[in-house]
């Protein structure tokens, strides 16, 4: 049996104040896969992610989640399926790390319910995975940029979503935590059939971790498919004006991109 697409967009367009920023974007994503959305600044990556999370007011029937028009889901129903790690997060309230991570359970609680021991266990697991368990009692306003980014990822994992959408999830992380977070989510994709959609700027991370890539440029999908098919010297020159060589990472055997600094 053919596996159903968990995320699909059909000829998706988006316009902000009369300026078209997404143009005829059709993508399909299979369950349990790691999809990378790549492209230059302003290409429309965050906008695409927001549209597949129903965070923009799209009136057309151009986004399907598990085969159904995204608009047929209530906000709470969608939160049980999709979790979002935004490009930048600002939390001004004096919550502790643990309180923020536990907010990931909100879609599963009734109006007056408190979190159960089971909810707390899930939050502890997510904090352990992302390396923030030792920060659990600390105020969210007192964290470093990278710590905060990992807490937000822990909150998203606590939601136990089927689809995890991340916008530049490693932008504030040191190299150890970059690899750690990407490896955790890849492993969850394989073990728990979690579907990952991640906006990434690091092409070598995309070559290493992604099953599929959609390369966006000026609102259009200019290339899609497996990383080795999408990331070629010709495409990198056209889209980023960069001279590159694709070689092999001797540690993993996966493709690795070297580039000119001129
Ligand atoms: N709320 C908004 N109102 C008007 N224009 C917007 C809005 N949000 C984004 N844009 C514009 O839409 C285009 C696409 O923005 P988007 O944030 O999707 O890009 P991106 O690919 O995520 O870029 P980056 O790599 O810099 O994060 C940009 O030209 C941006 O200026
Ligand atoms: Mg963006």
- Give nearest CA residue, ligand 1 atom 25: 41
Residue ranges, comma separated, of all CATH 3.40.50.300 domains in the chain are 1-81+161-232
| Per-residue pLDDT reduced to its tens digit, 163-196 | 999 999 999 999 999 999 999 999 999 999 999 9
Kindly write down the DSSP assignment for every residue of 25-86, as one continuous string: EEEEE-TT-EEEEE-STTSSHHHHHHHTTT-S---SS-EEETTEEGGGS-HHHHHTTEEEE-
Angle between helices 145-158 and 175-192 (to 10 degrees): 10
The Å distance, Cα 201 to ligand 2 centre, comes to: 10
- Give nearest CA residue, ligand 1 atom 18: 44
The Å distance, Cα 36 to ligand 2 centre, comes to: 13
Asked whether 205 and 170 are in contact (CB, 8 A), the reply is yes
pTM: 0.95
- Point out the residues of the chain with pLDDT beneath 70: 1-3
Give pLDDT, residue 140: 96
Give pLDDT, residue 1: 42
Counting ligands in written order, the one closest to the CA of 215 is 1
The set of protein residues with a Cβ atom below 6 angstroms from ligand 1 is 16-17, 21, 39, 41-47, 87
CA distance 219 to 230: 17
3-class SS at 92? coil
Tell which CATH architecture fits domain 1-81+161-232.
Answer: 3-Layer(aba) Sandwich (3.40)
Asked whether 208 and 194 are in contact (CB, 8 A), the reply is no
Tokens representing 249?
A: 């990472």
The Å distance, Cα 99 to ligand 1 centre, comes to: 31
Which atom belonging to ligand 1 lies closest to the Cα atom of 19?
Answer: 5
Give pLDDT, residue 3: 61
């Amino acid at each position: 049996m053919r596996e159903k697409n968990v995320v699909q967009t059909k000829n998706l367009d988006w316009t902000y104040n009369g300026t078209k920023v997404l143009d005829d974007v059709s993508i399909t994503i299979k369950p349990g896969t790691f999809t990378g959305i790549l492209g230059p600044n302003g290409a429309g990556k965050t906008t695409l992610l927001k549209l597949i999370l129903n965070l923009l007011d799209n009136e057309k029937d151009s986004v399907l989640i598990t085969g159904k028009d995204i608009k047929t889901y209530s906000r709470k129903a969608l939160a049980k399926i999709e979790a979002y790690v935004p490009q930048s997060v600002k939390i001004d309230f004096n919550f502790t790390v643990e309180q923020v991570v536990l907010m990931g359970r909100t879609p599963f609680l009734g109006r007056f319910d408190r979190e159960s021991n089971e909810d707390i266990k899930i939050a502890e697991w997510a904090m352990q995975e992302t390396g923030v368990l030792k920060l659990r009692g600390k105020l969210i306003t007192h964290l470093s940029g990278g710590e905060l980014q990992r807490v937000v990822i822990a909150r998203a994992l606590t939601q136990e979503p089927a689809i995890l959408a991340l916008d530049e999830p490693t932008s504030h992380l040191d190299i150890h935590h970059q690899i750690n977070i990407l490896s955790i989510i890849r492993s969850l994709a394989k073990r728990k059939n979690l579907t990952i959609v991640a906006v990434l700027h690091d092409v070598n991370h995309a070559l290493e971790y992604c099953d599929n890539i959609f390369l966006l440029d000026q609102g259009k999908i200019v290339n899609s498919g497996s990383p080795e098919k999408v990331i070629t010297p010709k495409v990198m020159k056209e889209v980023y004006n960069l001279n590159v060589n694709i070689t092999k990472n001797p540690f993993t055997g996966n493709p690795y991109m070297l580039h000119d600094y001129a």
